[in-house]
Structures are given as C-alpha cells and as structure tokens.
C-alpha cells in the first residue's frame, strides 16, 4: 500500500533551543532509519514551513501508523494521510 503523508510540526513556544535541537536530531535519526529500510520512499520539505510531504510504501495501515507514531515529533504534528494507487492512464508502472 502506498501513502502520501503530509506532516506539519507545531512545537511548544516554551521549549529551549537545546530541547528543540535534541528532538530534531532524534527525528532525523528515526526518519533516516525508516528511509534506509525502504519503507519511506520519498521525503520533501514544504518550502517556508516546518512541514514535509512523504511517500511511504507499507504492508498495512497499521504498519504506516507504527512508522509515523515512532517519530519523536509525532505528538507535535498535524498529519494528513492519503492512500494512493496507480492511475489507469499512467504511462509508468510506478514512481517508487
């Protein structure tokens, strides 16, 4: 199953720069682990926002939730998930 996942981060304004730097470093490590696994296919920054658009290919909605909820920034995100499939008019089988 292929999903487009939009994640927008909203950190508490009261956090120190050190706390923010720590959680961002942990987020990087976790997201790169999932990218290396092959499950997280694409990761793009949304210009001008603390936000990204990602493409994940997983076995089930439960696996998608496991990956997203493992992210250290998960509690501070607004997340939109869209399940996608090949369009019948597409020239290529897949972009993945």
Inter-CA distances, 53 with 18, 60, 72, 88, 89, Å: 26, 19, 17, 24, 24
Q: How confident is the model at residue 95 (pLDDT cuts 50, 70, 90)?
A: low
Write out pLDDT tens, residues 11-53.
Answer: 999 999 999 999 999 999 999 999 999 999 999 999 999 999 9
CA-to-CA distance for 18 and 47, rounded, in angstroms? 24
9: helix, strand or coil? strand
The per-residue pLDDT for 87 is 85
The proportion of the chain whose per-residue pLDDT surpasses 90, expressed as a percent, equals 88
Phi then psi dihedrals of residue 41, to 5 deg: -80, -45
pTM: 0.90
Mean pLDDT of the chain: 95
2-84, what's its fold?
Answer: Alpha-Beta Plaits (3.30.70)
């Amino acid at each position: 199953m292929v999903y487009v996942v939009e994640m927008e981060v909203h950190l508490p304004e009261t956090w120190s720069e050190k706390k923010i730097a720590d959680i961002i470093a942990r987020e990087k490590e976790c997201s790169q682990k999932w990218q290396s696994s092959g499950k997280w296919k694409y990761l793009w920054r949304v210009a001008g926002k603390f936000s990204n658009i990602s493409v994940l290919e997983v076995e089930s909605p439960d696996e998608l939730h496991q990956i997203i909820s493992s992210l250290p920034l998960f509690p501070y995100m607004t997340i939109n998930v869209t399940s996608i499939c090949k369009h019948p008019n597409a020239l290529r089988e897949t972009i993945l």
